[in-house]
Amino acid sequence: MPDLKQELLNELHLKLKLDVEGIDYEPEVICDFAGYFGILKRLNLPSFDPSLLDRLQLPIGITLPYGTDVGAIPVKGSDYSIAKEDGALLLKERGRLIAEVALTPQPEWIDKFTSDGTPMYEVGFSSSGNSQDKSIIFAYSTECSVKEKNETCLFCCLNGNSVLKQGASLWRNPLQIAETSKAAYDEGYSHLTITGGFVPERRELDYYLDTAEKIQEAIGRKDFNGSACIGAPVDLDVIEKYKEAGFSSIAFNTEVWTKPWFEVICPGKVTECGGYDNWLNAIKRGVEVFGRGNVRSIFVAGLQPKELLLEGIEQLSEWGVVVIASPWKPYQGSPLEGHRSPTVDWHWDIQQKTAAIQRKNGLTYRDHFNSSPGRTVTMELIALEEGRLYARQKAAENEEIA
Ligand code: SF4
């Protein structure tokens, strides 16, 4: 009998590997896929292989044998590849078979259009796949105004010049987001995140309030379980306005821990958001206004020594913040393009320690789902410890039996 917990842990380790290293798709496989990566084009996301541009036909993700979904970021030259043999999709590591995988089921909203004719796959993105808990993310802008002063965060690709963004529209308006939310919520989605680069003169508050109102109108209720991902406002009283507008959680991504690192890695956030101390004060005020478990902060894991990063994760967790240690991927178009992230084992250690620290501070899977833009490895590790992945496995077995 296989040790199921160990098998599930192995699968989460593989999810992490694929997230960090990406997947090199064989051309004949790509032609078969039915998904879309329209949002990647807008966001100028990853080490996207430009030769694939003329056929944005990629899956929203792949599903590993125990039901774990993995975002399927294409990276030319990755050790991991997917080939099709005798009708089966085979995941290989340097040519050696490691698992038979499936395509992550694609939501129906992805094929729909907003009332102004915009394809919804260019408005929202989701890799929720097989999970019962599904969430969608909206990036309302594809540029960040810190670009004007040459203060782009060093890991961020949003302001990069890329062939990918050519012809991609810069803005998504509140109605497009509301209509796409409605289509997703009609399909059982239950969480959304709104994010984007800074708007000139920090006018994003009006945008977020308008969008919240449109979403409430579209889905017909006040509580839409939405996260507003914003930069720290200089006037911290503004945070209450997001709560009043109907957002149930708020996110301030700290990215790196301690002031000297923040000033080097995130110069634009220093200029626009009142500096590092104000950033941390915004997080603390966020917890006062929204409550423990309803404020989220992402660290870009891999930019700093491990001990320093863990110190930040400990501190924010003690304050009741949902912390994500997102593995650093040196994206094309980011100032650190061409650099390398730490090893997968380094990242695995961080994921496991983050999950343990979060649990020690009473932060749960539900807190993570309700405030995260996607399914992270930390979230899955917490779900595993809470027994939720076993439940998913049981459901899958029962379906097979039925
Ligand atoms: S503030 Fe930094 S991380 Fe955020 S969008 Fe702008 S450049 Fe990117």
Q: Give the model confidence (pLDDT) of 327-371 as tens digits.
A: 998 887 889 988 999 999 999 999 999 999 999 999 999 999 999
SS3 148: helix
> 161, 44 in Cβ contact below 8 A?
no
Domain segments of the chain: what residues?
Answer: 4-104, 108-389
d(CA 383, CA 8): 11
Summarize pLDDT for 101-125 with one digit per residue, the tens.
Answer: 988 888 899 889 999 998 888 888 8
Q: Over pLDDT 90: what percentage of the chain?
A: 62
Cα of 197 to ligand 1 centre, how many Å?
6
Ligand 1 atom index nearest CA of 266? 2
Q: Rounded to 5 degrees, what angle do the CA atoms 390, 127, 221 make?
A: 95
255-273 average pLDDT score = 97
Q: State mean pLDDT over 301-325.
A: 98
- Give the chain's mean pLDDT: 87
- Ligand 1 atom, smallest distance to 159 CA: 7
Closest-CA residue, ligand 1 atom 4, reads 197
Residue 177 CB neighbours (<10 A): 27
How far apart CA 312 and CA 305 sit, in angstroms, is: 11
pLDDT of residue 389: 77
Question: For the chain, what is the total number of helices (H) and then of strands (E)?
Answer: 14, 13
In the prediction, which pLDDT does 119 show? Answer: 85
The pTM (predicted TM-score) of the whole model is 0.92
What is the pLDDT at residue 398? Answer: 59
Q: What are phi and psi of 237, to 5 degrees?
A: -65, -20
Give nearest CA residue, ligand 1 atom 2.
153
Please tell me the residue having the least CA distance from ligand 1 atom 8: 156
What integer is the mean pLDDT of 95-103?
92
Q: Which residue has the higher pLDDT, 278 or 70?
A: 278
Span from the CA of 310 to the centroid of ligand 1 (angstroms)? 22
Specify the ligand 1 atom closest to the Cα of 272.
Answer: 1
**162-176 mean pLDDT:** 70
- The whole-number pLDDT of residue 338 equals 85
Say if strands 69-70 and 62-63 run parallel, antiparallel, or are unpaired: antiparallel
* Residue-level pLDDT at 167: 53
pLDDT value of residue 42: 43
How do residues 6-56 score in pLDDT, each as one tens digit?
999 999 999 999 999 888 877 666 666 555 554 444 444 444 455 554 445
CA 94–ligand 1 middle distance (angstroms): 35
pLDDT at res. 182 = 98
Strands (E), 140-231: 191-195, 226-229
Exposed, middle or buried by CB within 10 Å (0-12, 13-18, 19+), for 44? buried
* Predicted local confidence at residue 27, as pLDDT: 67
Q: How would you classify the pairing of strands 88-93 and 80-85?
A: antiparallel
Strand ranges of the sheet holding 135-139, from the earlier edge strand across to the other edge: 124-125, 135-139, 191-195, 226-229, 249-251, 295-301, 322-327
Amino acid at 243: K
In the reported structure, the alpha carbon of residue 394 is separated from the centroid of ligand 1 by a whole-number distance in angstroms of: 41
- Cα–Cα distance between 353 and 272 in angstroms, integer? 32
Among candidates 70, 61, 75, which has minimal Cα distance to 22?
75
Across 202-206, average pLDDT: 84
Residues having CB within 6 Å of any atom of ligand 1: 144, 146, 152-153, 156, 158, 197-198, 266, 268-269
Which one of 42, 153, 329 would you pick to mutate in the ligand 1 pocket, going by the greatest count of ligand atoms within 8 A of its CB?
153
Which CATH code fits 108-389? Answer: 3.20.20.70
Give the range among 170-174, 274-278, 349-353 with minimum mean pLDDT.
170-174
332 or 245: whose pLDDT is higher? 245
Mean pLDDT along residues 366-387: 95
